[in-house]
Amino acid sequence: MKRLSLSIVFLATLVASAAAQSGSGVFAYFRDYNLIGNDYKFEALGVSCAKALANTTVEWRKKYGWTAYCTPHADLGEDICGQCISVTNTANGANEIVRVFDYDSCGVVQLDLDLHTSFAKIDDGNGVNVGHLVVDYEFVEPCDAVPIGPGETNVNATFAYFDVEKHNWSLSDAGVECASYLPDVSYEWLKKYGWTGYCGNVEQMPDACGKCLKVTNTETKEEVTVRIVDACGGDFHALNMDYDYAFKKIDGNNNGIRQGHLVVDYNFVECGDALENKNVHLLLPSK
Ligand SMILES: *[C@@H]1O[C@H](CO)[C@@H](O)[C@H](O)[C@H]1NC(C)=O
Ligand SMILES: *[C@@H]1O[C@H](CO)[C@@H](O)[C@H](O)[C@H]1NC(C)=O
Ligand SMILES: *[C@@H]1O[C@H](CO)[C@@H](O)[C@H](O)[C@H]1NC(C)=O
């Protein structure tokens, strides 16, 4: 009997820590922190993370929308301050990365998103009327990782058929350059974003593998987030995007496929990869 109750305690602990990392169908309410009016100053805002994040700059505080994280697991405490959460509105799929500046204890996990910097960005208009959104959330990798390179503007993005479905999203089956640098990534991770070849400096290649880019069609302003999984051959200039899951998504007027390339702007962005993928690492080539 004793054994049994111990394993129940153990199991409950596991569930609690898993619950702290992600959740689905969670209510996200809004709160108006009036960040601009308060100049992003903690003294005026009275948030629980004021002490833990006292030394952060205003730029850092502005980088992501704000949220309060409310949880039954009171032990989370200040450790949670400054962490980032990827939040997806289940009603419209809109997704945003927000940062925890406030925490509280509640009966069930809920988020209190700052109205202007977080809530409004993913609301389909209905949330503000009913007072909450229903969201999926997950804590993500350190949100302040430095992007590896500058983006580019007005460059040509060509397309290729990576045949991801035929290869069941396997990097090695698809024969892409990054297969050997990203040996232990999950199927979910691979499917999360459309793939692209990155034609930048080849020496950057191992580091670029797995990074995400936000690509904007300069003509239609359509945007897509893609993941770098390949290099490009000599004739390409910027990106060589998977047709089905990347290129086509921002080629709404079909001009891209007609002329063989799109003219795009791109920037490195956070992928918002979940903590369960934190052992994603790069095998650097031996010199
Ligand atoms: C903030 O900076 C001060 C002075 O450098 C230091 O004494 C204090 O421990 C820092 N606080 C935190 C929470 O890092
Ligand atoms: C993009 O492609 C067009 C047509 O092939 C070419 O004329 C143009 O110079 C390319 N632009 C860049 C930045 O490479
Ligand atoms: C693709 O891979 C996943 C993960 O390994 C597996 O669960 C799934 O059955 C595979 N699908 C096909 C069609 O082979």
* 3-class SS string, the chain: CHHHHHHHHHHHHHHHHHHHHEEEEEEEEEECCCCCCCCCCHHHHCCCCCCCCCCCCHHHHHHCEEEEEEECCHHHHHHHCCCEEEEEECCCCCEEEEEEEEEEECCCCEEEEEHHHHHHHHCCCCHHHHCEEEEEEEEECCCCCCCCCCCEEEEEEEEECCCCCCCCCCHHHHCCHHHHCCCCCCHHHHHHCEEEEECCCHHHHHHHCCCEEEEEECCCCCEEEEEEEECCCCCCCCEEEEHHHHHHHHCCCCHHHHHCCEEEEEEEECCCCEHHHCCCCCCCCCC
Residue ID of nearest Cα to ligand 1 atom 10 = 55
What pLDDT score does 4 carry?
36
Give the position, in ligand 2's atom list, of the atom nearest the Cα of 263. Answer: 1
- Would the CB of 262 count as within 6 Å of ligand 2? no
Give the position, in ligand 1's atom list, of the atom nearest the Cα of 53. Answer: 13
pLDDT band at 278 (very low <50, low <70, confident <90, very high): very low
- Would the CB of 55 count as within 6 Å of ligand 1? yes
Of 75-79, 213-217, 247-251, which gets the smallest average pLDDT? 75-79
108 backbone dihedrals φ, ψ, rounded to 5°: -130, 160
- Taking a C-beta distance cutoff of 8 angstroms, is the pair 230, 198 a contact? yes
What pLDDT score does 221 carry?
97
CATH class in words for 22-140: mainly beta
What pLDDT score does 14 carry?
34
Q: Give the whole-angstrom CA distance, residue 285 versus residue 186.
A: 21
What pLDDT score does 200 carry?
73
Segment 195-217 mean pLDDT: 85
Of 114-118, 123-127, 275-279, which gets the smallest average pLDDT? 275-279
- Would the CB of 54 count as within 6 Å of ligand 1? yes
Is the overall model pTM greater than 0.75, yes or no?
Answer: no
Residue 41 has pLDDT above 80, yes or no: yes
How many whole angstroms from 212 Cα to the centroid of ligand 2? 24
- Would the CB of 187 count as within 6 Å of ligand 3? yes
Torsion angle in degrees (nearest 10) through CA of 50, 99, 148, 88: 180
Q: Cβ-count burial of 219 within 10 angstroms (0-12 exposed, 13-18 middle, 19+ buried)?
A: middle
Q: Give the whole-angstrom CA distance, residue 214 versus residue 202.
A: 20
Residue 5 has pLDDT above 90, yes or no: no
Q: Where in the chain is CATH 2.40.40.10?
A: 22-140, 147-269
Tally of CB atoms within 10 A around 20: 19
Residue ID of nearest Cα to ligand 3 atom 4 = 187
Q: Which CATH superfamily is domain 147-269 in?
A: RlpA-like domain (2.40.40.10)
What pLDDT score does 277 carry?
38
Residue ID of nearest Cα to ligand 2 atom 13 = 155
pLDDT tens, position by position, 65-92: 999 999 887 666 788 899 999 999 999 9
Report the mean per-residue pLDDT for the chain: 83
Residue ID of nearest Cα to ligand 2 atom 6 = 156
Q: Token pair of 216, please?
A: 């904007």
Q: Give the whole-angstrom CA distance, residue 181 versus residue 171.
A: 10
